[in-house]
Chains A and B, each alone.
Chain A
Amino acid sequence: MNNFQDWFRQDRLPHIYCTGCGNGTVINCTLNAVNAMGWTPENTVFISGIGCSSRAPGYIVTDSLHTTHGRAIPFATGVKLSRPDLHVVVFTGDGDLAAIGGNHFIHACRRNIDLTVVCMNNYIYGMTGGQGSPCTPLGAVSTTTPYGCAEPPFDLAALAVAAGANHVARWTSYHVKELTKAIHDGLETPGFSLIEAVVQCPTGYGRKNRLRDAAAMVGWMRDHAVLMQRWRRMQEEGTPLPPGAFPVGEFVRRNLPAMGVPK
């Protein structure tokens, strides 16, 4: 295939995503990376759980499993171990991966099974209308945190590093080139790879948190994403980190023993 657009099921359009949603950007980045790997629809499988992000495989021409909430990774584990020659990519979101699927997530990192997981982190449950998730920032407003979120969020990338994944990166839907490169790195790396893609959800999150439209949200991501090298330097120097800032870049790339790698 030459064109990433050939990967889409044209007869499934229009898609369900809201105006201004960042998920489409991440899907495009993923398909560009898959295409650049030289993979084909015949040897690539997309697997997802439940949520807005998990609708992605339904728009792609490959074999795909749209599974139950939080369980995409164990389904993918069964596919990959039975057919290690197939390339298996998981689409998920912060609610799917970090809340209901949290246990499967850390165990897949520990097994270091040869999957690439692309998590669209929009800080919210988008499909059900904007409830707080385990990644909703402290103080942020959602329909279930109307007075501001009182719980600290998970750092998904740090969690994956600690649990043993071979490759972990975080970018945002603003950083299209970097995100595509990071996904490509994940596809290349034997073992488990997590690419956390912070995405805007103007409908479910932005409107409640003074980021009224997609442009405001993408601008916020641009202004608050701090390159990993700079982030580490600031930490070493003891420089105060700006409020709301978060590190982006490659968290880890290593070659620990992995499962499901084709021989």
Chain B
Amino acid sequence: MTRLEFMQGNTACAEGALAAGCRFFGGYPITPSTEIAEHMARKMPKVGGVFIQMEDELASIASVIGASWTGVRAMTATSGPGFSLMMENIGYAIMTETPCVVVDIQRGGPSTGQPTRAAQGDMMQCRFGSHGDGSVIAVSPASVQEIYELTAKAFNLADRYRVPTFVMADEIIGHMRERIEIPDAVEIVPRRPLEKGSLPFAAGEDGVPGFPAFGNGYGVHVTGLTHDERGYPSTTDPHVHERLVSRLVNKVEGARQEMADFEVTNPDAEVVFISYGAPARAVAQAIHDMDDERVGHLRLRVVWPFPDFALALFKSARVFLMPELNLGQMAREAARHTNVPVVSIPEIGGELHTPDRLIACAEGYL
């Protein structure tokens, strides 16, 4: 029996996390994500979990990573300025293969920018914001229902691939109130524990080592330094670094088909919108209003790793149109993977694209 509710996106995000078994939340107040922390503060004690408001976002993500090493599902939520502060320890989580979920309710930037207005300006930051090579996973919800589902899913992805996983939402989805169907239970795929006697950072074919949670006698040393399969620092051997960092990247990039999650509308279309997050709603309205099979839509739910192969599904595409709440961040990524022209439709300042504007854009290519 599902339960019908009328709920704010940020609340749905927290509820999705709790349903997925999240039992540690370390956070710091920041608009427009604060309602997630507030909801966790109310709910965590009732489910036997931990809520702590840390002294800043550096500490929030650090506490989340520490909690995750005890085997607990752990999460934080923030927005642009706090997200920037988290980059240091997000790199640590990538290097140490710590599963964790970071929610970014995006607002206008750079800097403090527009605290109460929506944006998608952190899409490249979540992918490349921490120094060094590495790969991450990001999902992007387009509704209140979806922020619930994708937050829950983010925990499974983080645990499966042992990598920080981002819920890249925006102020529109975070603050919107919508009808939502809450299921009795969500799918939970727990972390695979390390087999006793195995080296803690030795991985099989999928590149993902088993997880040696603290307090179980593994005696694992975890370091952000380049380390060998025992977890011991080895900072000058080029082969150790090459082997480790290549594995960290390939375990995610090599699984893009496996974790791909997108919707296709009108696969024979000539003019194809690509969208993720809030702009997907304007695209859906435009497609509905145009009622023309020559216009299609690729809507991404998993954004990183980018599903490059999905573009080739539109065999008749003459142009991809990419409305984003930024000046064309993911459009550049899409353009790398196709010979079909990718045209960015940027919108910054906090207002969503209107369906009429998107219809006018599409008609220009028909």
Residues of A within 8 A of B (CB): 9, 12, 41-43, 45, 47, 57-58, 61-68, 71, 73-83, 85-86, 103-104, 107
A74 touches B217 (CB 8 A): no
A132, chain B: closest CB distance, angstroms: 23
Residues of A within 8 A of B55 (CB): 74, 103-104, 107
Which has the most chain A C-beta neighbours within 10 Å: B23, B63, B89? B63
Residues of A within 8 A of B216 (CB): 42
B225 contacts the other chain (Cβ, under 8 Å)? Answer: yes
A67 touches B224 (CB 8 A): yes
**CB contact under 8 A between A86 and B214, given known A75-B62, A78-B62, A78-B65:** yes
Residue of B50, B58, B215 touching A74 (CB-CB under 8 A): B58
Bound-state Cα–Cα, A77 to B218, Å:
21
B223 contacts the other chain (Cβ, under 8 Å)? Answer: yes
Bound-state Cα–Cα, A58 to B232, Å:
7
Residue of A41, A42, A45, A71 touching B62 (CB-CB under 8 A): A71
> Other CB < 8 Å A-B pairs besides A42-B217, A71-B62, A82-B24, 10 of them?
A62-B219, A63-B212, A63-B218, A64-B221, A67-B224, A77-B59, A78-B64, A78-B67, A81-B63, A82-B70
A78 touches B74 (CB 8 A): yes
A75 touches B232 (CB 8 A): no
B51, chain A: closest CB distance, angstroms: 9
B222 touches A82 (CB 8 A): no
Residues of B within 8 A of A78 (CB): 24, 26, 62-70, 74
Residues of A within 8 A of B219 (CB): 41, 61-63
B67-110: which have CB < 8 Å to A?
67-70, 72, 74, 88-89, 92
B59 touches A82 (CB 8 A): no
Residues of B within 8 A of A107 (CB): 54-55, 59
List the B residue with the shortest CB-CB distance to A100: B58
Bound-state Cα–Cα, A256 to B208, Å:
44
B234, chain A: closest CB distance, angstroms: 11
B66 touches A79 (CB 8 A): yes
Residues of A within 8 A of B69 (CB): 63, 65, 78-79
List the B residue with the shortest CB-CB distance to A58: B221
B217 touches A82 (CB 8 A): no
Residues of B within 8 A of A82 (CB): 23-24, 50, 66-67, 70, 72, 74
B259 contacts the other chain (Cβ, under 8 Å)? Answer: no
Residues of A within 8 A of B60 (CB): 74
B89, chain A: closest CB distance, angstroms: 6
Bound-state Cα–Cα, A12 to B214, Å:
20
A79 touches B70 (CB 8 A): yes
12 A-B contacts (beta carbon < 8 Å): A45-B214, A62-B219, A66-B221, A67-B65, A71-B62, A77-B62, A78-B62, A78-B63, A81-B24, A82-B70, A86-B214, A104-B58
A45 touches B215 (CB 8 A): yes
Residue of B24, B89, B220 touching A71 (CB-CB under 8 A): B89
Which has the most chain B C-beta neighbours within 10 Å: A47, A62, A65, A71? A65
B56 contacts the other chain (Cβ, under 8 Å)? Answer: yes
